[in-house]
Amino acid sequence: MISEKLHKAINDQINAELWSAYLYLSMSMDAEDKNYKGVANWFHIQFQEEQAHARIFMNYLNSVEAKVELKPIEGVQTTWDSVLDMFKSTLEHEKKVSALIRNLMSIAKEDRDYAAESKLNWFIEEQVEEEEAARDIIFAVESVGNSKNDMYILDKELAARVYTEPAPLAGK
């Protein structure tokens, strides 16, 4: 049985994941507006991934007979000065999400909720990947500098990203 503390924290995390999705959708739309179709695609994939993360948490609560309580999604920033600013914001945001996930793991460990720990291990590994991806793209954008040709090539590379259903949702 899930503790009230962990139940509330996971419901809060669901809201955070949906807010993240909304943030990345906003970044996608801003990149589209700036004619960076590949960057827009990259952020649209992020949008889909965050929605999937929320679904994983919702599925988990349902599996332990705990009520999912959706909350209003607060507004997000809608414009950034540059692609570099978008990815720097992404890295800072993902660091905050990582801290939230670690907090959930701390609660699960305190509760000796081994099922929750098992589920959260996937998220901890996912957050390592999320932060690394943002850092890698920041490095690439900074390497490009003011070269429009190189930014064009990088934008095309980002356009190749495709959405893959996360393993915890496979077959659901």
68-77, 130-139, 143-152: least confident range:
143-152
Query: What is the rounded CA–CA span in Å between residue 40 and residue 32?
Result: 5
Report the distance separating Cα 91 and Cα 27, nearest Å. Answer: 13
What are the residue ranges spanned by the domains of the chain? 4-161
Instruction: State the pLDDT at residue 169.
Output: 92
- Find the DSSP H helices in 34-113: 37-63, 83-111
Q: State the CATH architecture for 4-161.
A: Up-down Bundle (1.20)
Q: Give the whole-number percent of the chain exceeding pLDDT 90.
A: 93
> Rounded CA gap, 24 and 19, in Å?
9
Asked if 18 and 54 touch (Cβ cutoff 8 Å), the reply is: yes
Angle between helices 4-33 and 37-63 (to 10 degrees): 160
Instruction: Determine the Cα–Cα distance for residues 56 and 68; give it in Å rounded to an integer.
Output: 12
Residues counted in the chain: 172
pLDDT digits (tens, 9 = 90+) for 17-52: 999 999 999 999 999 999 999 999 999 999 999 999
The whole-model pTM stands at: 0.95
